[in-house]
Amino acid sequence: MSLFVDFGYTSLNHFGEELCGDKVEYAKNGDYVTLVLADGLGSGVKANILSTLTSKILCTMVSNNVSINECLETMVASLPVCKERGLAYSTFTVIHLNHSGDGFLFEFDNPQAIYIHDGKCLDLNRKKLLISGKEVYQSELKLKDNDYIVTMSDGAIHAGIGATLNFGWEREDIKKYLESIYDSKLSAKAMATQLAKSCNDLYLDKPGDDTTIAAIKIRKSLNVHIMVGPPVEKEKDDYYVARFLDGADKTIVCGGTSSTIVARYLKKPIEVDLNYLEADVPPTGKIEGIDLVTEGVLTLRRLLELSEQYLSIVDLSPKIFVRQDGATRLADLLFVQASDVVFFVGQSINAAHQGLPIDITMKLKLVESLANNLKKMGKNVIVNYD
Point out the domain boundary residue: 165, 197, 219: 219
Closest-CA residue to 156 (of 93, 89, 87, 105): 93
> d(Cα 378, Cα 386) in Å, to the nearest integer?
25
> d(Cα 81, Cα 63) in Å, to the nearest integer?
26
pLDDT of residue 269: 95
Same domain membership, residue 189 and residue 162:
yes
**CATH assignment at residue 41:** 3.60.40.10
Same domain membership, residue 67 and residue 128:
yes
Same domain membership, residue 364 and residue 303:
yes
Domain of 169, in residue numbers: 3-219
Same domain membership, residue 213 and residue 227:
no
pLDDT of residue 386: 86
Other C-beta atoms closer than 10 Å to the C-beta of 78 total 12
CB 160 within 8 A of CB 169: yes
Point out the domain boundary residue: 167, 195, 219: 219
CB 228 within 8 A of CB 256: no
Point out the domain boundary residue: 160, 193, 219: 219
DSSP 8-state assignment for residue 81: P
Same domain membership, residue 163 and residue 270:
no
Predicted TM-score (pTM) above 0.85: yes
> d(Cα 322, Cα 180) in Å, to the nearest integer?
19
Same domain membership, residue 378 and residue 254:
yes
Same domain membership, residue 260 and residue 180:
no
263 beta partners: none
> d(Cα 294, Cα 301) in Å, to the nearest integer?
12
> d(Cα 335, Cα 186) in Å, to the nearest integer?
11
Same domain membership, residue 323 and residue 279:
yes
Same domain membership, residue 111 and residue 234:
no
CB 303 within 8 A of CB 281: no
The count of domains in the chain is 2
Same domain membership, residue 287 and residue 146:
no
pLDDT of residue 355: 55
pLDDT of residue 181: 96
Write out the chain's pLDDT in tens, 386 residues. Answer: 679 999 999 999 999 999 999 999 999 999 999 999 999 988 889 899 989 999 999 999 999 999 988 988 888 777 776 666 656 588 999 999 999 999 999 999 999 999 999 999 999 999 999 887 788 999 999 999 999 999 999 999 999 876 666 677 889 999 999 999 999 999 999 999 999 999 999 999 999 999 999 999 999 999 999 999 888 888 889 999 999 999 999 999 999 999 999 999 999 999 988 777 677 888 999 999 999 999 999 999 999 999 999 999 999 999 999 999 999 999 999 999 999 999 999 887 665 555 554 567 888 999 999 999 999 999 999 999 98
pLDDT of residue 132: 79
Same domain membership, residue 159 and residue 21:
yes
* Residue 198, CA distances (Å) to 32, 178, 205, 309, 351 in order: 31, 11, 10, 19, 51
pLDDT of residue 232: 85
Other C-beta atoms closer than 10 Å to the C-beta of 259 total 22
Largest CA distance in the chain: 74
* Residue 172, CA distances (Å) to 123, 190, 210, 275 in order: 11, 21, 21, 44
Same domain membership, residue 148 and residue 58:
yes
